[in-house]
Every structure is written in C-alpha cells, then in structure tokens.
Chains A and B, each alone.
Chain A
Amino acid sequence: MDVSTSAPHVAGSVDWPSDWLRATLGFLCLRALSAGPSYGYAIISDLESHGFGTIKGGTLYPLLTRYETAGLVTTEWRAGDGGPGRKYFALTETGRTELTRLSADWLRFTDATTRYLDRPTMEGPA
C-alpha cells in the first residue's frame, strides 16, 4: 500500500464521535491492510483520506500491537532507501477471516440501524 494511491479525501467528515471511531477502528485498520502490507503512516493517511479523521499513533500502534499478539497481523522491518527501515504490518489468514466476519456483522448492524432510523415516527400516544 502506498500513501499516494489512497482514495480522494472525503471532506467534512472528520468529527465523528470518538465512541464510533473506537468501536470501528479495529476492523477499519484490518481493512486498510487487506490490500497488502502497510506501515503506520500509510494506514493513518488511508483512513484520513477516506474521511475518518487523523488517527494518532498513540491510538493506532497499541491496537496493532494487540492484533499482533492475537495473531491477526504479523510485522516485518523492511530496509528503507538509504534511511532507517519501516515496520510493515500484514494481515494473517486469521486476520482476514476476522475482517470478513466483522465487516458482515457491521453491515448487518448498520442496516438494522438505518431501518430503525427510517421507520415512520409515531405522532404522540394513540
């Protein structure tokens, strides 16, 4: 994954309630890795360009460390071009399965939420 190939910026969508981001950041990060191994700044840039705001390193790295412990991602240091190397994160098969499961669950949840929000409003007691 490369920062320059990320999707266009979605304007006006960076102030999501922190609870929403906390709940979804895990599988969003897994999704960011689904195209291939990536590194911290590229993941942050990818999420930012898709309208999720700027995720801080203090939020991202602990999450990825937990995922590494859980066997959802693996890490590898790759040599940099004349400079220090980069730490790449890659999805494992378990991580890919977890992403599929969480994505399906999330779609069901948002679908149920949307249907609930769109139902006709009752005008006072019957």
Chain B
Amino acid sequence: MIQQTSDKKWFDQLVMELRLRQVHGSAIGDTVASAKELLRDTGQPAEEAFGPARDYAEALELPSAPKHDWIRTALWPATLGLLAFLLFNQAVVPWTRSELLLVSPAQLAFLATPVVLIAFLPLYLDAIIRRIWACVGLSGIGALSGLLSAVAAPENPADAWLAIEPLPWLIASALVMVAFSIRNTIQAARTTGHDDITDPSAATAGGTGTGMKVFVQVTNWLFPILALAMLGLTLALR
C-alpha cells in the first residue's frame, strides 16, 4: 500500500516534469506505460528503479514542443482575458449607478498586479508548480491586490486621476472576453485529444471523457460567466 502510494506520487511527478518540458502527451503515455511495465516485472519501487522523477524525465531527453509555444497559444489570451475581466468589473458598478468610472494611480497599480504576475509566469512557472507554498503565495498576492484596488478606488471625481464614461469600457471588455472565449472554444474543438496522455499498453484507447470536455468549455467561457455573475450581482444589489 505504501509502495503504491509512493509510486503514484512518483508517476504524478514524472508526468508533471515531462509536461513542464513540453513533451507530447502520447510520448508521456509511452514513458509511463513502459516504466509501469518494468515495475510489474521487477517488483521494485519506482524511485529505486528509475531514481528521482525529475532526473529521469531529464535523462530521457524526449522530443518536446518549442519551449515558449504555450505562451503564444495559452498565456497571452488568458492574460488579455483577465485584463478585460478586471476592466469589466471596474466599469460595471458605476454603469449601473449611472456614474463616471473613477480611477486612481494606486488603483491601477493594484489592478495591474495580477496581470503582471500572469504575464511573467514563464519566468517562474516551474518554481510555483514544484513548490505549493509559492503557488499559494502568488495567488494570495493576486487576491490581495484585487481587494486593495477596491480600497484604493476614489470616492469622488475630485480625488480621481481619470473620470471616464464606463459604458464603452464595459462593452469593449465584454467583447474582448467573448472574442477570446470563442477563439479558445474553436481551438479546443480542433485539438481535442491531440495532446492527451494515452496508454499504449492498453487494449483500447481511452478518449477524452464528456466531463473533461464540459470542464474545458467552462474554462474557456470562465471570464464571460464570471462577468455575467458580477453584472447580475451588481444589478441585484443596486
């Protein structure tokens, strides 16, 4: 039982390390299946047979996608989607109250913090995935900056650095969110199952489950869904 648990942890780490190296899903499935095959034959724990998962992943030197391909395909759309969502949140309350959108420099800085954290993710992604405390810390900074941006919001136009009509920003940010969601949905439909981890040793190939497909679509439409919820909440509390 203990060996099964430690082996599961080892395989989880191996998959994570190979994913971090942008190894294709089919190659990861092949690596995992061949390692399990040997462990079944020898009865050894994974760590004893293959050494640390990180070292083994490195030693395999498997072909990988260009290192920064995911930045273009996933990170920039996510960053722009988040930026649009934050703008929408700032504009929705003054719009429902028929007020101007008031902005202070401190508020802008706090709002920019989570966007900057995500934009620079490639510099420290490996570190936060390998260390849960770093991941929790960065999430905390993002959440705290969101709260502080509300605190730093100016009370009246005299205190504001900018006083602008909220409706154009509301419409523009909503359009950006919907545009990125449509783009992500089309991209997900084109590449469904393309990079799944498949087990070549199994008699039948497992497809992408319905639950996973629904999860992917919800993720693609996360910002518009949250923005709609925010709009509903604001209208209800008006």
Contact of A41 among B41, B48, B199, B202 (CB under 8 A): B41
Is A62 touching B201 in the complex (CB atoms < 8 A)? no
State how many residues of chain B have any CB contact under 8 Å with chain A.
Answer: 29
Residue pair A61, B35 in contact (C-beta under 8 Å) = yes
Q: How far is the CA of A109 from the CA of B36 in the complex (A)?
A: 38
Tell me which of B36, B60, B200 contacts A62 (CB under 8 A): B60
The residue that B200 contacts in the complex, of A40, A57, A65, A85, with Cβ under 8 A, is: A85
Q: Hey, what's the 0/1 contact readout for B17-52 against A, CB within 8 Å counting as 1? A: 000000000000011011111111110100011110
Whether A69 sits at the interface, judged by CB under 8 Å, is yes
Q: How far is the CA of A86 from the CA of B49 in the complex (A)?
A: 17
User: B63 near A61 (CB under 8 angstroms)?
Assistant: no
A43 to chain B, nearest CB (A): 10
> Would you give the shortest CB distance from B61 to chain A, in whole angstroms?
6
Which chain B residues in 199-217 approach chain A with CB under 8 Å? Answer: 199-203
A56, A61, A66, A79: the one within 8 Å of B34 (CB): A61
Tally chain A residues at the interface, Cβ within 8 Å. 20
- Find chain B residues with CB under 8 A from A80 CB: 201
Report Cα–Cα, A90/B200, bound state, in Å: 17
A106 adjacent to chain B (CB < 8 Å): no
With the chains together, A64 CA to B62 CA distance in Å?
A: 11
Is the Cβ of B38 less than 8 Å from the Cβ of A57?
Answer: yes
Count: A-B pairs, CB below 8 Å: 70
Q: Tell me, yes or no, whether B70 is within 8 Å of chain A by CB.
A: no
> Shortest Cβ distance from B57 into chain A, in angstroms?
10
Contact B38 A40 (CB under 8 A): yes
Q: Are A56 and B60 in contact (CB under 8 A)?
A: no
> Per-residue 0/1 for A43-73: is the Cβ within 8 Å of any B Cβ (1 yes, 0 no)?
0100000000000111001100110010000
Asked if A87 and B201 sit within 8 Å, CB to CB, the answer is yes
Q: How far is the CA of A77 from the CA of B201 in the complex (A)?
A: 6
Q: Tell me if B59 is interfacial: C-beta within 8 Å of chain A.
A: yes
Complex-state Cα separation, A77 to B34, whole angstroms: 9
Bits for B194-238, please: 1 = Cβ < 8 Å to A, else 0: 000001111100000000000000000000000000000000000
Which chain B residues have a beta carbon within 8 Å of chain A's beta carbons?
30-31, 33-42, 44, 48-51, 55-56, 59-63, 199-203
